[in-house]
Structure 1
Amino acid sequence: MNKKLRFPRNLWRHRELWWRLTEREILGRYRGSVLGIAWSFITPLAMLAVYTFVFSQVFKARWGGLEQAGPLGFAINLFAGLIVFNLFSECAIRAPSLIVSNPNYVKKVVFPLDILSCVSVGNACFHALTSLCILLIFELIAFQTIPLTLLWLPLVWLPLILGSLACSWLLSSAGVFLRDIGQLIGVGINMLMFLSPIFFPLSALPDRWQPLLRINPLAQVIEQTRRVAVQGVNPDWPYLLIGTVITLLACEISFRGLQRSKKAFADVL
């Protein structure tokens, strides 16, 4: 078995195809609408405005350590967690139908099927970045500054992006043979949302429950995102190193699994 990573070379070889399809996916999502791609900014802005109103006027919520920002600080921390969760959930929910909904790519033309997941992840990353822009604007309003530690965010999100890609390859391949995967993922994502520290920090939980929620990989990404994007604290080096290595291996395993199983796709579809 070849011990070298195959998927980075494959992605580089098809980089132009990946870029063009991702661009088409993003623009096609808003084609025909009056405001066009501006919706990618309006939607997260509306979400953050609603969260700020609900938690400031209804729940009177505060986030520990950010009392000076008031309820807006709570909404900012909540939204930072949602950006991470939405990136992963968008990839996971779409993954089981990626190959099933494109049978022509399997039957009629020679097409690198692994690129479909890359396009899905690229689309999710674009919308995560637009949401991040809105988050930073609200940080300027609340704190009058943006922490320099934000520069660590690409490295903090690298395990998230690689993990989303690995899950997408795995689920898209499994979705061809097991059509129930899509339903199971929908239920699982709803459960994962409330088992992730989106609406609360991990430190708010009793000590006996914290190790259990730390098993959730998204919990680490969410906490580290808040550290560098909101709190102005450097990320944990073990997270960056171990998380990147694990997700690289997960990508390679899922990529090779897709390459082996795609020979049977035409018979099933």
Structure 2
Amino acid sequence: MESTKDDLVRPGTSGGLADVYRERFLLKLLVRKELKVRYRGSVLGIIWSYVKPGVQFVVFYLALGVFLGMEQSSTNKGGLANYAIYLFSGIILINFFTEALGNASRSIVGNGGLIKKIYLPRQLFPVASVWVSAVHFFPQLLILVVACLFSGWHPSLLQLLAAVAGFVIVALLSTGLGLLFGAANVYFRDSENFVDMLLMIATWASPVMYSWTMVQHKLGEMWYSIYQVNPITIAVETFHYAFWLPTTDGSAGIPPHLLSLWIPVGLVVSAAVLLWGQLTFRRLEGRFAQEL
């Protein structure tokens, strides 16, 4: 029986992120493989997921909380109450974004040998990198929750849902940018340096180590609104709202319209970046094997 034109399927045609769902067993294997490779020969293993952010937190807390006076005390009323919780709730989210995007942008080149040998959905590699970063994120989140409980944490359901929305925003953004720069890095290796620079900017341009009120005071309402469009800024503020604010008397407040405006904006922007990254990836992936 002759095949009609509609029956013919071009070999190696990508179905995009839908292929990642269909090949979720392969995704699970890739995540497991990345975790094993990363900690092969390591004495501490996954404990490094606690050590690195812990050291980072101590350095930032001493430099900013103690030496620069960001911690509120009896002699410093202008600081932030429970600054340690404020700082750590932002750090773990920024670390998730930094690790996810950094590894996803290098994932295609790093798996070049496998890509040249067999065909499998190439989107699996950036997505697997984001999942590995999530594995490292949740133990840090557990430490944050324990610290919050010792500080009198009393969150509402709305605050917990805001935290989930913040995580989703960062996950979508990391995946979208990971697909974009992962594909670009095959053709232009300068992309790795650009990503490193972008991650450095993201760390300092988000209100992790300082209050949003400082930004609003310095920039004014119009420029502050532009600053607030950044999905990372929105996500960090959701974590402050969910984890830090319930450990204080609530007088510090949150950015205006965080729940009604900025969280939806963050979700829309991150989803748009994911779509952009996916379209770019599908357009460029046809020559990955040749370029690698």
* Shared fold (TM-score, shorter chain, > 0.5): yes
* Residue 18, structure 1, aligned to residue 27, structure 2: yes
- What corresponds to 1:210 in structure 2? 224
- Structure 1 residues 8, 175: CA separation in 2 closer, same or farther (over 3 Å shift)? closer
- Larger displacement relative to structure 2 (213-222 or 48-57): 48-57
Q: How does 1:122-161 map to 2 (within 5 A)?
A: 122-141=131-150, 143-148=151-156, 149-161=159-171
TM-aligned CA deviation for residue 61 of structure 1: 2.4
- Structure 1 residues 79, 116: CA separation in 2 closer, same or farther (over 3 Å shift)? same
TM-aligned CA deviation for residue 166 of structure 1: 0.3
Question: Pick from 231, 237, 247: which aligns with 2:270?
Answer: 247
Name the TM-score, length of structure 1 as normaliser.
0.84
For residues 49 and 253 of structure 1, the distance between their equivalents in structure 2, rounded to whole angstroms, comes to: 37
TM-aligned CA deviation for residue 200 of structure 1: 0.7
TM-aligned CA deviation for residue 244 of structure 1: 2.5
For residues 259 and 138 of structure 1, the distance between their equivalents in structure 2, rounded to whole angstroms, comes to: 43
* 3-state SS, counterpart of residue 70 of structure 2: coil
Q: How does 1:1-269 map to 2 (within 5 A)?
A: 7=16, 9-62=18-71, 73-141=82-150, 143-148=151-156, 149-205=159-215, 206=217, 207-208=219-220, 209-232=223-246, 236-269=259-292
- Structure 1 residues 117, 10: CA separation in 2 closer, same or farther (over 3 Å shift)? same
- Structure 1 residues 63, 10: CA separation in 2 closer, same or farther (over 3 Å shift)? farther
Q: Kindly provide the amino acid, as one letter, of the partner of residue 165 in structure 2.
A: L
For residues 70 and 56 of structure 2, the distance between their equivalents in structure 1, rounded to whole angstroms, comes to: 17
- Structure 1 residues 129, 17: CA separation in 2 closer, same or farther (over 3 Å shift)? same
For each residue in 1:222-256, what CA deviation from the matched residue of structure 2 results, as whole angstroms up to 9, or x when unmatched?
A: 11121122214896143343432333343233223
- Larger displacement relative to structure 2 (227-236 or 101-110): 227-236
For residues 259 and 201 of structure 2, the distance between their equivalents in structure 1, rounded to whole angstroms, comes to: 27
For residues 154 and 20 of structure 2, the distance between their equivalents in structure 1, rounded to whole angstroms, comes to: 34
RMSD of aligned alpha carbons: 2.8
**Structure index of larger Rg:** 2
Percent sequence identity is 25
Q: Kindly provide the amino acid, as one letter, of the partner of residue 209 in structure 2.
A: F
Contact 1:7 1:252 (C-alpha < 8 Å) held by counterparts: no
Q: Kindly provide the amino acid, as one letter, of the partner of residue 164 in structure 2.
A: P
Contact 1:121 1:164 (C-alpha < 8 Å) held by counterparts: yes
For residues 59 and 261 of structure 2, the distance between their equivalents in structure 1, rounded to whole angstroms, comes to: 36
TM-aligned CA deviation for residue 139 of structure 1: 1.6
- Larger displacement relative to structure 2 (111-120 or 50-59): 50-59
- Larger displacement relative to structure 2 (158-167 or 184-193): 184-193
TM-aligned CA deviation for residue 135 of structure 1: 1.5
- Structure 1 residues 183, 163: CA separation in 2 closer, same or farther (over 3 Å shift)? same
Contact 2:105 2:182 (C-alpha < 8 Å) held by counterparts: yes
Q: Kindly provide the amino acid, as one letter, of the partner of residue 18 in structure 2.
A: R
For each residue in 1:53-77, what CA deviation from the matched residue of structure 2 results, as whole angstroms up to 9, or x when unmatched?
A: 444543342269xx99x87711221
Q: Which runs of 5+ in 1 are unaligned?
A: 1-5
- Structure 1 residues 213, 63: CA separation in 2 closer, same or farther (over 3 Å shift)? farther
- Structure 1 residues 243, 61: CA separation in 2 closer, same or farther (over 3 Å shift)? closer
Name the TM-score, length of structure 2 as normaliser.
0.78
For residues 224 and 29 of structure 2, the distance between their equivalents in structure 1, rounded to whole angstroms, comes to: 43
* 3-state SS, counterpart of residue 110 of structure 2: coil
For residues 34 and 71 of structure 1, the distance between their equivalents in structure 2, rounded to whole angstroms, comes to: 38
For each residue in 1:199-231, what CA deviation from the matched residue of structure 2 results, as whole angstroms up to 9, or x when unmatched?
A: 112112215252342243211111112112221
